[in-house]
Amino acid sequence: MSTTRSRIAIGQTTRMAVVVMAMSMLLAACSGSTASPASSVAASCVKEKLAVKTAGKLTLSTDNPAYSPWFQGGNEGATVWTGDFNNDPSKGQGYEGAVAYAVAKKLGFAANEVVWIQSAFDQSFAPGVKDFDLFLNQVSIKPARAEAIDFSTGYYDVAQGVVTIEGSPIAGATSIADLKTARLGAQIGTTSLDAINNIIKPDTAPAVFNTNDEAVAALSGGIIDGIVTDVPTAFYMRDAQLTGGIIVGQLPSASGAQEQFGIVMEKGSALTACVSSAVEALKADGTLASLLKLWIADKASAPALK
């Protein structure tokens, strides 16, 4: 992990994005027509045969704001995905944005046949008919959740990290034991909260915020000593949202089972099998690994806390 590069210049980000866009298009193109059996989806999983919300279109959804590094760029002059920390998912940039378009491509949808709508996290699992075909919003796969909605195969292996700011009591923490006395916070509905309760087991009950922004505000205000969140988001907080942000480290996984993010679909959706096979194919042909390298790079892991 490089400590010298704490911030990425805007121009550099844009240039990087252009290069990455080109590369991901190339990757998607390579994996499309001339695919080996392992990296292609079943014949029934083609655009014409898929039961999508709007014929000929794949309706994708995420929460607004859409954060880096999951989504990237394109919010200049935006009216929907607006704000300094927001990103336009339809640019196909950022890890989830790129994965979304790669999945669409596998199912036969061109980039201009992909439509983005915004859905709040809770809307994604409210009972009844959904407005979206696929929802990508860093949702961790859990058996209890799969009672309410369908998950695709995981497209990202998650690790939980701890972020803090200079002057915090845990700024110099190097072990899980050092975090015991900390006042920690996490976003609601995240497995980060489970990580606090099951791995760190702090003396003070964790603060639970509706959004990561509120957790950041609480950390900046000294209301809490640290935030537990997925590692790429922890790096993003350090680099973009916090003044004097510090990555404390990465937590081991609780149960030994690897936590993964999955694509959310309506319960019993006819798309589930096809989307899962598309994710499998992207995994098999190395697309996921490439996208991970492009968008998350060295921010996928942090020094391990033991």
- Residue 123, interface with another protein (CB under 8 A)? no
Binding of another protein at residue 222 (CB under 8 A)?
yes
In angstroms, give the least distance from the CB of 147 to another protein. 7
Of the candidates 291, 293, 176, 303, the residue with the CA atom closest to the CA atom of residue 231: 303
What is the SS3 assignment for 277?
helix
Closest CA to 62 of 5, 9, 115: 115
Single residue of 18, 126, 289, 304 touching another protein by CB under 8 A = 126
Residue number, 61 or 75, with CB nearest to another protein:
61
Distance CA 172, CA 211 (A): 26
In order, the DSSP letters of 157-198 are E--EEEEEETTSTTTT--SSGGGTTS-EEEETTSHHHHHIII
| Residue of the chain from 220, 253, 260, 301 that contacts another protein (CB under 8 A) | 220
Is residue 145 involved in binding another protein (CB under 8 A)?
yes
> Does residue number 209 form part of the binding site for another protein (CB under 8 A)?
yes
Name the residue with tokens 């027509």: 33
Each residue 166-195 as x (binds another protein by CB under 8 A) or -, in order, gives -------------------x--xxx--xx-
Rule CB under 8 A: is residue 120 a binding residue for another protein? no
d(CA 193, CA 250): 14
Q: How many CA atoms lie within 13 A of 118 on its CB side?
A: 14
Is residue 134 close enough to count as binding another protein by CB under 8 A? no
CB 225 within 8 A of CB 182: yes
Shortest Å distance, C-beta 84 to another protein:
18
Please give the residues from 29 up to 88 whose contact with another protein meets the rule CB under 8 A.
Answer: none
Size of the site for another protein (CB under 8 A): 34
Residue 279 DSSP SS3: helix
Pairing between β-strand 160-165 and β-strand 245-250 as defined by DSSP bridges = antiparallel
Q: Which is nearer to another protein, 81 or 151 (CB)?
A: 151
Q: Does 256 bind another protein (CB under 8 A)?
A: no
Residue 215 Cβ vs another protein, minimum distance, rounded to whole Å: 7
- In whole angstroms, give the CA distance from residue 136 to residue 124: 10
Out of 9, 148, 297, 304, the residue judged to bind another protein by CB under 8 A = 148
User: Which one among 21, 27, 114, 207 touches another protein, defined by CB under 8 A?
Assistant: 207
Binding positions for another protein, rule: CB under 8 A = 121-122, 125-128, 142, 144-145, 147-149, 185, 188-190, 193-194, 205-210, 214-215, 217-218, 220-224, 267
